[in-house]
């Protein structure tokens, strides 16, 4: 089986509406790209994890619609243009899309990821590049956290750099469970993960089982009534939360209250420009400082009961 792509270059103000109209007119799927990609005019659009960028298209956008080969591409474009009242039907080009082994093609886009000193995140269809490393077998899925995003990497690197053999760890906003698994594999004892998304909890439990990690995962309501006293009401030697700056600020009393005396709090999902305001929200409870920065994102850390802001990661 094969398909035909319809390619239309159009101004930003029409890109989103045209995309919707093309779908209504019979397109199988539609994507919007930067028509200036690869040139000096290329413009990146960024959004925080789980949040869309504020702009949905580029000044010079390329709309790509996938259609059946035997469809009337000209009629689809004309109908879409009419639906959004464009002054004229935009020019378009087409290209054929041959059938392929889409599973294998998709898998080829995900290679093992090396993180920190010794951590490897390895999809199930790959061999581990370093069998003696800290190996996490993890396939891309619905839950956030495969090690590809800087916030996840920073938390993983912190856990690797601060092993606490036998200590307790809480991963709040656990997503795929990747941080909880790193904690377990560097020697932590009692490890728990919490996420508001039941689908993430299912994913985390499956990932932990695959990686032979004994971890308890909960949605918040289950966490509050866990028969494990520490999980329900107690404190942990390390609390790590890779979420977003706004919920992190709101949860400052709760997350700080989950840190045991002398324990560590690690936060990410925070842009560098947001670091001061997040640290200020936690200041009444724990002194936080930037541990490290990567691609504009930071990880904050602090020790409960320590009066000074901790030092950042050494450049060496």
Residue 141: burial class (beta carbons within 10 Å; 0-12, 13-18, 19+): middle
What gap in Å lies between CA 16 and CA 253, rounded to an integer? 41
What gap in Å lies between CA 302 and CA 310, rounded to an integer? 6
Residue 34 assigned ligand-binding role? no
What gap in Å lies between CA 89 and CA 128, rounded to an integer? 52
In 3-state terms, what secondary structure has residue 140?
A: coil
Residue 211 assigned ligand-binding role? no
Q: CB of 122 within 8 A of CB of 135? A: yes
Residue 152 assigned ligand-binding role? yes
Residue 195 assigned ligand-binding role? yes
| Burial call 283-301: b when 16+ CB within 10 Å, e when fewer | eebbbbebbbbeeebbbbb
Question: Cβ–Cβ contacts within 10 Å for residue 239, how many?
Answer: 25
Residues flagged as binding site for S-adenosyl-L-methionine: 152, 173, 195, 242
- Which residues are documented as binding site? 152, 173, 195, 242
């Amino acid at each position: 089986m094969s398909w035909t792509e319809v390619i239309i270059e159009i101004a930003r103000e029409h890109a989103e509406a045209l995309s919707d109209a093309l779908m209504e007119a019979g397109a199988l799927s539609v994507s919007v790209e930067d028509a200036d990609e690869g040139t000096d005019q290329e413009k990146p659009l960024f959004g925080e994890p789980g949040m869309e960028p504020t702009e949905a298209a580029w000044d010079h956008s390329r709309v790509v619609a996938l259609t059946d080969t035997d469809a009337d591409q000209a009629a689809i474009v004309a109908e879409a243009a009419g639906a959004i009242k464009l002054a004229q039907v935009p020019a378009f080009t087409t290209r054929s899309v041959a059938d392929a082994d889409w599973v294998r093609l998709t898998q080829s886009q995900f290679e093992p990821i090396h993180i920190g000193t010794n951590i490897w995140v390895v999809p199930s269809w790959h061999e581990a590049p370093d069998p003696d490393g800290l190996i996490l077998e993890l396939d891309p899925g619905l839950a956030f956290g495969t090690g590809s995003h800087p916030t996840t990497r920073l938390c993983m690197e912190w856990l690797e750099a601060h092993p606490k053999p036998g200590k307790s760890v809480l991963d709040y906003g656990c997503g795929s469970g990747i941080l909880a698994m790193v904690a377990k594999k560097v020697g932590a004892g009692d490890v728990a993960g919490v996420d508001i998304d039941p689908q993430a909890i299912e994913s985390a439990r499956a990932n932990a089982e695959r990686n032979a990690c004994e971890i308890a995962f909960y949605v918040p309501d289950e966490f509050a009534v866990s028969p494990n006293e520490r999980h329900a009401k107690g404190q942990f030697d390390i609390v790590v939360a890779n979420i977003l700056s706004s919920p992190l600020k709101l949860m400052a009393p709760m997350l700080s209250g989950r840190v045991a005396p002398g324990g560590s709090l690690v936060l990410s999902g925070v842009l560098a420009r947001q670091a001061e305001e997040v640290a200020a929200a936690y200041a009444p409870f724990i002194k936080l400082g930037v541990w490290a920065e990567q691609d504009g994102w930071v990880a904050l850390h602090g020790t409960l009961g320590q009066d000074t802001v901790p030092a950042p990661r050494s450049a060496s």
